[in-house]
Amino acid sequence: MTGMSVVVMAVMGLMGSGLVAGEGGGASPVAGEQGGAEAVRLPDQSGDFFADLAEGLRPQWRQYFRERPEGAPRDRVGAALSMGALVADLSLACEARDAQQFRNLLVDLTALETMLGIGELMGSTRQMLTSLADGGEWKALRGEVGSLVRQHRRHLTAHRDQQMADLESIGQWVRTWQVAVQFCGNHEGVKVPPLGKPEWIDVLKGRAAPLAEAEVRPCVVIRRQLVALDRMWAAAAVDGEARKERMKQTREALNELMARSIDPVAKH
């Protein structure tokens, strides 16, 4: 059996499992790793989180842009994870107020949406986002990136692909945290924790769990690293060299996650 067949069988086995999310202001509660419902909602877009990190500072967000991937993901699991990372990059481009970067990312996003079967459905939304970026409507655009994520989830759920939407959220927040940790390393006065609320890691662990248990390799790696990050940040707050060491370990873990599971064809 091919690797792709294993992925398809794993995903098919999850369909109809009740992992359904809505289109509201955030993801609706879904099954968690311990079988319960998620008690915390992840934000739909990363722009507000980036803005909170940079409060009182004058960030140069362009330095956190990454190189565009050199090839396509190997399967739909990879496409969903990569699509989430691109959503985080859209928020980053929005905070940097870089219309060209935003347009370039939308081109890459189109290919991933098409791979997941929702490309045509998202066409008008991409046109609207392009128009807002060209017009410099950055405040409105920040919110519309969240709308983009909700539309992805709605369309994927309609195709009984809700697990792909959960994987998108994992890719989005791993990439968001990667940027946040780099940012915090450059600005010691940041008050917001680089991984946001502690409960966010639990939500992502729960979303990765079903495919990890089905031994879909990227999700096995993701859950293992999320568990490690959870333990790392469950400890009491630290200062000085201990803080630097924890930030270093966090950065290495997130870079490994991006390189091995979410963006393996890009340069890091």
pLDDT tens by residue, 82-127? 999 999 999 999 999 999 999 999 999 999 999 999 999 999 999 9
Instruction: Please state, in angstroms and rounded to a whole number, the distance separating the CA atoms of residues 48 and 42.
Output: 12
Main-chain phi, psi angles of 26, to 5 degrees: -160, 175
pLDDT for residue 39: 61
Contact status, residue 14 vs residue 208, Cβ threshold 8 Å = no
Round the average pLDDT of the chain to a whole number and report it: 83
| Stated pTM of the model | 0.83
Residue 66 has pLDDT above 70, yes or no: yes
Residue 32 lies in a domain: no
Residue 267 lies in a domain: no
| Identity of residue 261 | S
Instruction: Give me the half-sphere count of Cα atoms (radius 13 Å) on the Cβ side of residue 219.
Output: 29
> In this structure, is residue 10 part of a structural domain?
no
Assess contact for 202 and 188: CB atoms under 8 A: no
Residue 166, H or E segment: helix 162-186
Query: Within 13 Å and on the Cβ side, how many CA atoms surround 169?
Result: 27
Query: Is the pLDDT reported for residue 34 higher than 50?
Result: no
Residues 119 and 76: beta-carbon distance below 8 Å: no
Q: Is the pLDDT of residue 13 over 90?
A: no
Per-residue pLDDT, 71: 79
Q: Is the pLDDT of residue 55 over 70?
A: yes
- On whether residue 20 sits in a domain, the answer given is no
Residue 147: inside a domain, yes or no?
yes
The mean pLDDT value for 58-77 works out to: 89
Tally of domains within the chain:
1
Determine, yes or no, domain membership for 71: yes
What is the maximum alpha-carbon separation in the chain?
A: 54
pLDDT of residue 191: 79
Provide, rounded to the nearest whole percent, the portion of the chain with pLDDT above 70.
Answer: 82
**Residue 125 forms part of a structural domain:** yes
**What is the rounded average pLDDT of the residues 234-262?**
84
How large is the angle between the packed helices 3-14 and 198-213, nearest 10 degrees? Answer: 110
Alpha-carbon distances, residue 247 vs 114, 182, 228, 232 (angstroms): 37, 9, 13, 10
Q: Give the structural domain span for 256.
A: 44-262
* Beta-bridge partner residues of 31: 37
pLDDT digits (tens, 9 = 90+) for 177-204: 999 999 998 987 787 888 888 889 999 9
Is residue 6 in some structural domain? no
Residues 6+ apart with CB under 8 A from 82: 69, 73, 112, 171, 262, 263
Which residue in 77, 81, 3, 7 sits closest to 263, CA to CA? 81
